[in-house]
Amino acid sequence: MDELVELTRDLVGTPSHEDPTAAGDLIEAWLRAETDAAVERDPSGNVFARRGDGDRSLALVGHHDVVPPDDAQVADGEYAVERRDGRLYGRGAADMKGAVAAAMLAVRDCDPAADTELVFASFVGEEVGGEGCRAAIDRGFAPDYAVVGEGSTGYSAPGVTDVAVAHKGRRGSTILAEGVASHASEPDAGENAIYRATEAVDRLRGLTTPSVEVAGERLSGTVVATEIDGGEAMNVVPERCAVTVDERTVPGKRAPLERLEDIDGVTVRTDQDLPPMRCDDADFRAAVLAAARSVQETADDEPQPVVKPHATDAGWLAQAGTEPVVCGPAEPGEAHTADESVSIAVLERCYRIYRTVAERFEA
């Protein structure tokens, strides 16, 4: 599909790491010109298009902001886009402007299933914690079902576009240890904050992280200390030490970080909390999986229900009451890299998946 390639090229070539406005303008203008959908842009810059007025809503969801480009992805101040070996290279090709383009075309071309309002949504601020999605939810956006076009290709086998029925969330925390400063020659005159912090880290390492099962797939949490900062001078017992903690959460359960606060002088602060996701609607999971299997080109490779280790906007939607899955062209290790790229063949496959779900899914 040359049109899909060209639309993806246009989106990828539009800078959107500092300000996603131009990319949003492109999406909005294309939808108004190419579809009969009701198109709107909300105050945050999110772009929506709606077709049909059924009793239930199905959303195709993406985001058009990206992380800052590598130097190799910029040419003469513009984003560089290159096509070679059946792939498109450029910042945002995999995460996730290719999926956005596939969803735009699917919304235009499909004949939505009866009693369905089909919604296209492309958010801003996904790369900084889901700001656009959260703002939309605050304004009442909560479709019944959603296919979020983040990466799900290559999980069960190389080149296979699977369906993620769950993903982990991320809770970022800081262990704050307070002590009493003293001269290092008289350590007993103070309370060493580093010792308190390391005691908390030892306890952190012994915590049991939870796991859950979704559609036969096991999703397990993790927790790890990632940074430490403390002390002022080599001859001073430190009065403060901070340790950052990265926790990957699972639906409904968390590691018991509050147990660290049993240590004198230790408190735990939550800095970021991106929710996990799981789809509990077996019929919707089955419908998207059937669509993925119907368009997978090779009979020996059958898409599978899988789980993702990364948080996406699907977590915010699930928290708001939507039944979401993740299905998209990006493969593990492609996003946020200096040679980010997306397979054109998989982009076309995702277009067919999105269109098939929109036309055939009936609750």
Please report, for the domain that includes residue 82, its CATH number: 3.40.630.10
pLDDT of residue 328: 97
pLDDT of residue 334: 87
Residue 39 shares a structural domain with residue 71 = yes
**Averaged pLDDT for residues 23-42:** 97
How confident is the model over 137-162, as pLDDT tens digits? Answer: 999 999 999 999 999 999 999 999 99
**Averaged pLDDT for residues 10-23:** 96
Residue 299 scores a pLDDT above 80: no
Residue 338 shares a structural domain with residue 198 = no
Residue 264 shares a structural domain with residue 288 = no
Please report, for the domain that includes residue 219, its CATH number: 3.30.70.360
Mean pLDDT, the chain, as a whole number? 95
pLDDT of residue 363: 67
What is the helix (H) or strand (E) element at residue 173, kind and residue range? strand 169-178
Coil, strand or helix: which one is 325?
A: strand
Q: Across 250-322, where does the E strand assignment appear? A: 266-274, 277-278, 305-308
Range of the domain at 210: 170-274
pLDDT band at 302 (very low <50, low <70, confident <90, very high): very high
pLDDT band at 351 (very low <50, low <70, confident <90, very high): very high
pLDDT of residue 215: 80
pLDDT of residue 89: 96
DSSP 94: I
In this structure, which amino acid lies at residue 262?
D
Cα separation, 211 vs 102, in Å, equals 34
Residue 259 shares a structural domain with residue 213 = yes
Residue 355: CB atoms within 10 Å: 23
Residue 209 shares a structural domain with residue 354 = no
Task: Give the chain's domain count.
Answer: 2
pLDDT of residue 16: 94
How confident is the model over 51-84, as pLDDT tens digits? Answer: 988 889 999 999 999 999 998 899 887 899 999 9
Domain boundary residue, one of 224, 259, 274? 274
With 0-12 / 13-18 / 19 or more C-beta atoms within 10 angstroms meaning exposed / middle / buried, residue 60 is buried
Strand 236-237 to 341-343 pairing: unpaired
CA 135 to chain centre: 16
Residue 232 shares a structural domain with residue 154 = no
Domain boundary residue, one of 274, 294, 311? 274
Percent share of the chain, pLDDT over 90 = 88
pLDDT of residue 362: 78
Residue 1 scores a pLDDT above 80: no
Sign of the torsion formed by the C-alpha atoms of 175, 178, 182 and 186: negative
pLDDT of residue 285: 96
Residue 281 shares a structural domain with residue 310 = yes
In this structure, which amino acid lies at residue 191?
E
Spatial neighbors of 131 by CB under 8 A, at least 6 apart, are 44, 124, 125
**Averaged pLDDT for residues 114-137:** 95
Percent share of the chain, pLDDT over 70 = 99
Q: What is the pTM of this model?
A: 0.90
Domain boundary residue, one of 255, 274, 293? 274
How confident is the model over 207-257, as pLDDT tens digits? Answer: 999 999 888 878 899 999 999 999 989 999 999 999 999 999 999 899 999
Residue 193: CB atoms within 10 Å: 24
